[in-house]
Amino acid sequence: MINIALPKGRLGSRALEVFEKAGYTCPSIHENNRKLVFENTELGVRYFWVKPSDVAIYVERGAADIGVAGKDILLEYSPDVYELLDFGFGKCRMAVAAKKGFEYDPLRQLRVATKFVNIAKNYYRSKSMDIDIIKLNGSIELAPILGLSDVIVDIVETGTTLLENDLEPIETVVQISARLVANKSSFKFKNEEINALAKALSAQLDKEN
Ligand code: PRP
């Protein structure tokens, strides 16, 4: 049995579609109920939905053999897992944004609000900038509007949230997309099954592009 952690939400649904088209179907997952774990014993797959930011933890600790996680989560938490495949969807970018017209003052410590503390720290460390990090858990765009921070480091997909709040992207930190990750010991002990699955997913993605 391969245990597969899927991120709840649009990304996970899109990923499940690829798994199923690649042959790893699971009829019970489409039943309308509040169950969290779904199996297809014949095919040897067990899917479960988890909070997107928790996928890496499930896979790193082996509760899931493989999982689907955004590159943002992988960069933020640096889990000790193998990255097997880039799904090529869930594309967005991690960007620095600020109020329109914002000008950086090198004499003042830059205040950075973000959910992605490690990504932000690494980014500014690479620019040798000493910053004041303000960790928030959501609605990051509010911070510069209310003067809580000078800039934000956050995900930009369509750019609508920034636009509608009179903010603008200043710099791109890194490009993001969904990745297939594997637990290191599962990859060793279930190598054949995991490789076959990754290959089937990759073939399916090639077909779609
Ligand atoms: C994310 C991100 C931005 C928004 C960007 O928020 O934090 O707020 O999406 O998308 P856009 O460029 O297409 O407007 P999410 O909906 O995940 O909620 P959050 O406020 O909890 O971060």
pLDDT digits (tens, 9 = 90+) for 101-129: 999 999 999 999 999 999 999 999 999 99
Give yes or no for residue 149 having a pLDDT over 90. yes
Q: Give the tens place of pLDDT for each residue, 2-42.
A: 999 999 999 999 999 999 999 999 999 999 888 989 999 99
Q: Considering the chain, what is the average pLDDT of its residues?
A: 97
The percent of residues in the chain predicted with pLDDT above 70, rounded, is: 100
Pocket perturbation via mutation, ligand 1, pick of 116, 152, 156, 168 by most ligand atoms within 8 A of CB: 156
Return the residue whose CA atom lies nearest to atom 3 of ligand 1: 155
For residue 183, the model assigns a pLDDT of 98
Can you give the C-alpha Rg of the chain in angstroms? Answer: 19
Give yes or no for residue 178 having a pLDDT over 90. yes
Identify the H or E element spanning 143: helix 142-145
Q: Considering the entire predicted model, what is its pTM?
A: 0.94
Instruction: Using the structure block, give the residue that is written with the tokens 């899927």.
Output: 6
Return the residue whose CA atom lies nearest to atom 7 of ligand 1: 155
For residue 141, which of 117, 160, 122 has the smallest C-alpha distance?
A: 160
Identify the H or E element spanning 94: strand 92-99
For residue 209, the model assigns a pLDDT of 83
